[in-house]
Amino acid sequence: MAKQGHNPVLCALDTQDPDEACALVQALGGRVGGVKLGLEFFSAAGRAGVEAVAAAGLPIFLDLKLHDIPNTVARAVAALVPLHPFMMTVHTAGGLAMMKAAVESARATADRLGISRPQMVGVTVLTSLDDKDLNDIGVNATPADQAARLAALALDAGLDGVVCSPHEVARLRKLAGPSFTLVVPGIRPAGTAPGDQKRVMTPAEALAAGASHLVIGRPITEAADPAAAAGAIAAELGAVPQAG
Ligand code: C5P
């Protein structure tokens, strides 16, 4: 069950076309808690695209997975905070100093603008990497153990949370405590196609395991009626069907 008044669903708008993204946001009305815009959208549509989608009326999760030296990431964060995302991502593999610099830059920039700072969330191990891929880059740990290690580092750095797969969420909730944000993709409502997602959970299962936000793309965006699909998920979760 979702917290009262909180819709945990973030709809992934995996498109390059701002008009398509805005039309979908309008169609969804208040049936999701926000939308996720990623590297593909930002590379194609830029700041103007993000501003157009934000103007369509839902909170923005800007998932650009920043990863560079601390000074460069801090400056990139300072350039992005004025777009008012409620959440954004950095790679935890950038290290403790980079994550601290990102949080500090978000706080300082938001203070200067008089707005609330975005939640800063860390990407741990990309789920496209398996044991062998990690080994190839010199990491002698399983993806699950490496994700737990990086989540602990994110917590130390003062990040607000991490992105994790459904099969890691229970372990990370135990490790990081109740107030850490856990953003979980790989969600499939019962009865929908898994597509290329291999290990999936239903929205209710992921929330029960400790997720705070659920990233859901194609089960909503490719549904015959996206608003109805999003509404059904919100109803299943007991979420109030409005943004927030
Ligand atoms: O359409 P679908 O629900 O699979 O979309 C999930 C979204 O979450 C996409 O934007 C995808 O890139 C992202 N994602 C994911 N799995 C991860 C990390 C991110 O599916 N492990």
User: Other C-beta atoms within 10 Å of 156: how many?
Assistant: 11
pLDDT at 243 (0 to 100): 40
Ligand 1 center to residue 108 CA distance, Å?
30
Q: For ligand 1, is residue 124 a contact (CB within 6 Å)?
A: no
Q: What is the pLDDT of residues 6-20, one digit of tens each?
A: 899 999 999 999 999
pLDDT greater than 50 at residue 56: yes
DSSP state letters, the chain? -PPTT---EEEE---S-HHHHHHHHHHHTTSSSEEEEEHHHHHHHHHHHHHHHHHTTS-EEEEEEE-S-HHHHHHHHHHHGGG--SEEEEEGGG-HHHHHHHHHHHHHHHHHHTSPPPEEEEE-S-TT--HHHHHHTT--S-HHHHHHHHHHHHHHHT-SEEE--GGGHHHHHHHH-TTSEEEE--B--TTS--TT-SS-B-HHHHHHHT-SEEEE-HHHHTSSSHHHHHHHHHHHHT--SS--
pLDDT at 196 (0 to 100): 79
Q: For ligand 1, is residue 123 a contact (CB within 6 Å)?
A: no
- 4: pLDDT confidence band, cut at 50, 70 and 90? low
Tell me if 22 sits within 8 A of 221, measured CB to CB.
no
Q: What is the pLDDT of residues 87-119, one digit of tens each?
A: 999 999 999 999 999 999 999 999 999 999 999
Q: For ligand 1, is residue 38 a contact (CB within 6 Å)?
A: yes
pLDDT greater than 80 at residue 229: yes
Q: Which CATH class is domain 9-232?
A: alpha beta
Nearest-atom number in ligand 1 for the CA of 126 is 21
pLDDT at 128 (0 to 100): 87
pLDDT at 238 (0 to 100): 87
> What residue's CA is closest to ligand 1, atom 2?
217
Q: Which of 91, 192, 215, 216 to mutate to test the pocket of ligand 1 (most atoms within 8 A of CB)?
A: 215
Ligand 1 center to residue 112 CA distance, Å?
33
pLDDT at 195 (0 to 100): 80
Q: For ligand 1, is residue 217 a contact (CB within 6 Å)?
A: yes
Separation between Cα atoms, residue 123 and residue 161, nearest integer Å: 9
Q: For ligand 1, is residue 15 a contact (CB within 6 Å)?
A: no
Supply the pTM of this predicted model.
0.94
pLDDT greater than 80 at residue 241: no
Nearest-atom number in ligand 1 for the CA of 128 is 21
Separation between Cα atoms, residue 78 and residue 70, nearest integer Å: 12
Ligand 1 center to residue 214 CA distance, Å?
10
- 214: pLDDT confidence band, cut at 50, 70 and 90? very high
pLDDT at 193 (0 to 100): 80
Lowest mean pLDDT among 55-64, 131-140, 184-193: 184-193
Ligand 1 center to residue 217 CA distance, Å?
7
Environment class of 175 (CB within 10 Å of its CB; exposed 0-12, middle 13-18, buried 19+)? middle
- 135: pLDDT confidence band, cut at 50, 70 and 90? very high
Catalytic (active site) residue 65: yes
> What residue's CA is closest to ligand 1, atom 10?
12
pLDDT greater than 80 at residue 131: yes
Q: What is the pLDDT of residues 157-208, one digit of tens each?
A: 999 999 999 989 999 999 999 999 999 999 999 888 888 777 789 999 999 9
Q: For ligand 1, is residue 166 a contact (CB within 6 Å)?
A: no
pLDDT greater than 50 at residue 244: no
